[in-house]
Amino acid sequence: MTDEFGELSERAPKSKPKVTTPQMTLERAVELGEYDEKFLSTFREWHNLSDNIRFNYILRAIKNRRQFLRLNYAETFNVIDYSQKPELKKVLEAINDRLEELQKEEEKYRIEYSSKL
């Protein structure tokens, strides 16, 4: 095989890297903070779980989402020259709003599942 200068190259021809598409699993979705039952119900195993286990998955997903939002808040707040970037204040307000919504969602699920347990 020749290189760009017309010289023989001893390198092996490059093969295309294998492209693997990771499959989303119920565990991975929960780990990433997905707690919406409509989405979680797209996983086959969701339908075989007891209400107690479903509730625990939802709580864990909410906890993970809350952690992600708090981390996002901290990273945004610690941006260099934060005080000179007023647009970041809107971002923090949006994150706070989302945290409040998340709290309400958690309360809703607690009420919903308390009658099922």
Is residue 32 included in any domain, yes or no? Answer: yes
Is residue 17 included in any domain, yes or no? Answer: no
**What are 49-80's pLDDT values in tens digits?**
999 999 999 999 999 999 999 999 999 988 88
Is residue 37 included in any domain, yes or no? Answer: yes
Q: How many domains does the chain have?
A: 1
Is residue 19 included in any domain, yes or no? Answer: no
- Domain containing residue 39: 26-114
Q: What is the mean pLDDT of residues 27-52?
A: 96
Residue 68: which of 98, 43, 26, 24 has the closest Cα?
98
Is residue 13 included in any domain, yes or no? Answer: no
pLDDT over 70, % of the chain? 82
Give the 3-state DSSP-derived string for 14-65, with helices as H, strands as E and coil as C.
Answer: CCCCCCCCCCCCHHHHHHCCCCCHHHHCCCHHHHHCCHHHHHHHHHHHHHHH
Is residue 53 included in any domain, yes or no? Answer: yes
- Ramachandran quadrant class, 90 (left: phi over 0; alpha: psi -120 to 50; beta: rest): alpha
pLDDT over 90, % of the chain? 67
Is residue 3 included in any domain, yes or no? Answer: no
Is residue 7 included in any domain, yes or no? Answer: no
